[in-house]
């Protein structure tokens, strides 16, 4: 059985950078840069998810916006419908979902619906490479032990 999201979060950490729905796009950009992340979870209380906003959302909106986008609320550019995953989900399933749906970030929610972490496509790829390397090492040890 492959790695679960919970193991991936245990290795990388479960902290999530959130932004309040009243934040402006300029504040969102500053937080993205300050934390060196590609997406922020929009949450009024830091527990429940109101939306998600990524660098890509900012850039796409800039292409069509006439005026000062920085002064607009994050709610004007965020995705309000957020795909999430569970700590119990297998990483392989996340890889398929993220590839098919073209998501780069997936918030992790616990059984109560509370924000428990966030994973990026980079986290998923790293986890799969680690799994494959472990499998290769175990096969090599098995073959050479005979």
Residue 1's pLDDT is: 55
- The SS3 of residue 132 is helix
Q: Which helix (H) or strand (E) covers residue 106, if one does?
A: strand 105-109
Superfamily of domain 5-144: CBS-domain (3.10.580.10)
Rounded to 10 degrees, what is the CA torsion of 98, 117, 30, 19? 110
CB 13 within 8 A of CB 97: no
Would you write out the chain's pLDDT as a tens digit for each of its 146 residues?
A: 578 999 999 988 889 999 999 999 999 999 999 999 999 999 999 999 999 999 999 999 988 888 889 999 999 999 999 999 999 999 999 999 999 999 999 999 999 999 999 999 999 988 888 888 988 888 888 898 87
Residue 34's pLDDT is: 97
- What are the residue ranges spanned by the domains of the chain? 5-144
CB 42 within 8 A of CB 96: no
Calpha distance 121→131 (Å, rounded): 15
Residue 138's pLDDT is: 87
Residue 145's pLDDT is: 81
Distance of CA 40 to the CA centre of its chain: 8
CB 106 within 8 A of CB 98: yes
């Amino acid at each position: 059985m492959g790695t679960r999201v919970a193991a991936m979060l245990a290795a990388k950490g479960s902290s999530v950078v959130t932004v309040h729905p009243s934040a402006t796009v300029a504040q969102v950009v500053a937080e993205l840069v300050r934390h060196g992340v590609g997406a922020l979870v929009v949450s009024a209380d830091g527990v429940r998810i109101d939306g998600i906003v990524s660098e890509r959302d900012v850039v796409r909106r800039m292409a069509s916006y006439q005026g000062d986008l920085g002064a607009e609320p994050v709610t004007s550019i965020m995705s309000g419908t957020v795909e999430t995953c569970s700590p119990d989900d297998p990483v392989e399933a996340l890889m398929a979902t993220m590839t098919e749906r073209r998501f780069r970030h997936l918030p992790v929610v616990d059984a109560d619906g509370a924000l428990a972490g966030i994973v990026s496509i980079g986290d998923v790829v790293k986890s799969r490479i680690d799994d494959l390397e472990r499998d290769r090492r175990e096969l090599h040890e098995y073959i050479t032990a005979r």
